[in-house]
Structure 1
């Protein structure tokens, strides 16, 4: 009996020793799961979330390309114009070509052919024709692009810049050229609507929903780059909501894609995997690879009825300059998040008549929440002239409403921004933690900088690179007119407000950037927000 007890005890001790030895060995080899892993929230792991939706197979685009290609066309736009006698070709610089390189355009004189001496062409030297003394030659400029059919009766979409100013437009489809009528154009969104008569119903593509696409979705581009008919390229949606400065910035909302877009692709379709158009290939970055841009198809759907019915687009207009809020500005205005459109400038127009002021934050329009400026601009534009909208406005910590009767949006004004650096005049004062020098506005400074007579404040004479205002585009020559809604009449007013601010509080600077060149160029207005540091 005692022998069995001793044997069982020995067995137990042997097993216990083996377990302890195994735990020590595993710990030494780092085989145990760290306790930290148990404390982590798996929902915060981007890698785990991605693995849940990962795919191991790539799609084939062959069926999609075969189905859609018959609805894709090439565009040939010819422009005939007279050049000055002392120079050939077009004068001036095309902004599109300045940013994105030369378009797919050929330019040549309209000269007589050797076998057609009596036909139309240039007169010889000393004659009274287009080539005669004192007159410029007649030049023809050929531009190429792409497009796509959106209805069986021959409605075709392309970019405005493909056909802009063209004397004649042809659409090439199924080895035939069809003369095209330009039914409507919208320069603000770079969209043009054409019409051809093929004599039979045409294959067409349907318009999808560009709001539904997501970054990372597969897309396909079909077009005619470098006159290579119906070239197919594929890629993904790289980004949405891009503004690149080639058209009216108020309406730029480009889709960015790495599907190859080259010269001649302009106006062609950007397609999702269901064969629906989600964008219009529009531009490339001349200095980079795999960076192309497309106009969202929802923009096309907004303007298409007006282009079809009256050939142009009329938009509602508030007369405001607005910008998106960042986190610091939201804190400075006492808002819980960055939703809303911050009013920076108020022009003579409907919003000013309704009492909207700079510094207001527009939170919603007709009950539709404004998350960013594009929400406000799109809604107001689509309402059209003479409509009345209700703005929910945040002003001085309180919510108010303004009723605004819209007017028709005028053509965008051409403006140029330029830093003004007058140096550091004598008599400047400064606040060290702000990193700026400033002084009162004298008569000579007012005249030299083009500051309007009704503007009061201080003029900034120097900004250090470490200034919190530097990243917010305050520069020498900037005029600070208000802080937290209080008007600045002098440097003494400025210093009093800044020095009395409590640590941790926010200072909202309202600034003007005058244009010393005057003329038609307008003064730029903007806000800059700074949090007062502790221990200043």
Structure 2
């Protein structure tokens, strides 16, 4: 099974299933529409003019020679390796055309759709519900939330949608999806909100509503309405073993969409807030190791130097809320901070040394950095309590592993299967920085920390590939 984007490349074949005489007779005997049916029909009639079709086209592109059969050509092998000579007509991959959905955000002609619908498109066309078509300008896109904003000039004001508050929707509420599955424009499907706050590995800044309203290829970018006719989400992905709807559709929440769309309209880019911390979810095991009652919040495992959090937050702090919004897990914090403008003074509620307190800091501009590491170390020292073999963190090891000079610890060179360290998730190449409340700069210091640790499981701080994280190790 896989998560699939729900945009559409025109299918090569279509499968149509007829309705037999018996089925037609059964359909003809349906009951008179109820008041609920009438209300739904009125809603669809009201909002449908705001739903549009997105046609994204990519121009023909030369195809690399190795993708074609040059057997029999006298210079076939040469062309495979180096391409054809001047004047030689290389094979071309024909233009491709994809369909998606969208909706009118503003009467001036701003359109919202998915980033993946228009990604790499050479031209984009918007078709309105009355079949008029207009060339569209891509104002900006945000791959991290899969949102794009387009602009058309229709020569008149368009009917815009009303945006709803996705925070107040409840699981079980009725919803309506309108879009263009398989190129069938203005298709309406209904269902309920199946779940809220879904994370489908699309990145830290996107949060999804799950629905069982039928979402298929071509629905991407289309609106998900509540029964008030307000947009509460942008249909973006489906979970399916076959590519067709199985009742697992996902829509980016409207509150995120509004923020991203406003940023893109402003200057075509998204400005995200940034604290400068590495965080992880407080698991029950970590909560026990830290001596705290509830497994909630975002645990600060590292603070980046010269970041907004530097000197304000500390390793081991648990962030419980951000600007009065609860942080129940590590996944909540990037969304809250990311939708805050840089330069905003913010209030955080944290748990530090077992005591709750509030701190103030100014949110910075988002930036990213990454480091990867392998390990080559010598001078091994075996520790049987954890089930690891460790070595000093030499300058050569730092250079090889990408660990900066501010990190001190011992390097895990070997790991015994089924050992406490292995069960806790430690890996070869991890740098053990701290165990319990004691820094570990040498193998002897690690032994000393083990001898004096008071909690079980023990809280261990490690550095992995330049990132610091906490793990809870149940000692043997």
TM-score, structure 1 normalization: 0.68
Pairing partner for 1:340 from 271, 276, 297: 297
Pairing partner for 1:65 from 44, 53, 74: 44
- In 1, distance between residues paired with 2:278 and 2:35? 45
Aligned length: 421
Pairing partner for 1:324 from 246, 266, 281: 281
The verdict on how the C-alpha distance between 1:143 and 1:404 changes in structure 2, with shifts beyond 3 A counting, is same
The verdict on how the C-alpha distance between 1:126 and 1:474 changes in structure 2, with shifts beyond 3 A counting, is closer
Larger radius of gyration: 1
What is the aligned partner in structure 2 of residue 280 from structure 1?
234
What is the aligned partner in structure 1 of residue 79 from structure 2?
none
Pairing partner for 1:263 from 210, 217, 233: 217
- In 2, distance between residues paired with 1:200 and 1:168? 22
What is the aligned partner in structure 2 of residue 524 from structure 1?
467
Pairing partner for 2:442 from 479, 490, 494: 490
What is the aligned partner in structure 2 of residue 119 from structure 1?
none
SS at match of 2:316: coil
Structure 2 residue 98 is matched with structure 1 residue 143: yes
Query: After superposition, what is the alpha-carbon deviation per residue over 1:213-237, rounded to whole angstroms, capped at 9, x for unaligned?
Result: 2223222222112212222233322
Q: Which has the higher strand share?
A: 2
**Higher normalized contact order (CA 8 Å, seq sep 6+, divided by chain length):** 2
- In 2, distance between residues paired with 1:465 and 1:345? 28
Q: Is this contact kept in 2: 1:214–1:237, CA < 8 A?
A: yes
Structure 2 residue 79 is matched with structure 1 residue 79: no
The verdict on how the C-alpha distance between 1:63 and 1:150 changes in structure 2, with shifts beyond 3 A counting, is same
Pairing partner for 2:392 from 437, 441, 450: 441
RMSD, matched Cα = 3.5
TM-aligned CA deviation for residue 343 of structure 1? 1.0
The verdict on how the C-alpha distance between 1:356 and 1:268 changes in structure 2, with shifts beyond 3 A counting, is same
The verdict on how the C-alpha distance between 1:399 and 1:275 changes in structure 2, with shifts beyond 3 A counting, is closer
Structure 2 residue 124 is matched with structure 1 residue 169: yes
What is the aligned partner in structure 2 of residue 459 from structure 1?
411
TM-aligned CA deviation for residue 469 of structure 1? 4.7
Query: After superposition, what is the alpha-carbon deviation per residue over 1:471-492, rounded to whole angstroms, capped at 9, x for unaligned?
Result: 6532232221111342112232
Unmatched tracts of structure 2, length 5 or more: 1-33, 69-83
Q: Is this contact kept in 2: 1:85–1:134, CA < 8 A?
A: no
- In 1, distance between residues paired with 2:304 and 2:89? 46
What is the aligned partner in structure 1 of residue 150 from structure 2?
194
Q: Is this contact kept in 2: 1:345–1:358, CA < 8 A?
A: yes
SS at match of 2:65: coil
- In 2, distance between residues paired with 1:195 and 1:66? 24
TM-aligned CA deviation for residue 325 of structure 1? 1.7
Structure 2 residue 263 is matched with structure 1 residue 309: no
TM-score, structure 2 normalization: 0.76
The verdict on how the C-alpha distance between 1:223 and 1:366 changes in structure 2, with shifts beyond 3 A counting, is closer
The verdict on how the C-alpha distance between 1:59 and 1:396 changes in structure 2, with shifts beyond 3 A counting, is same
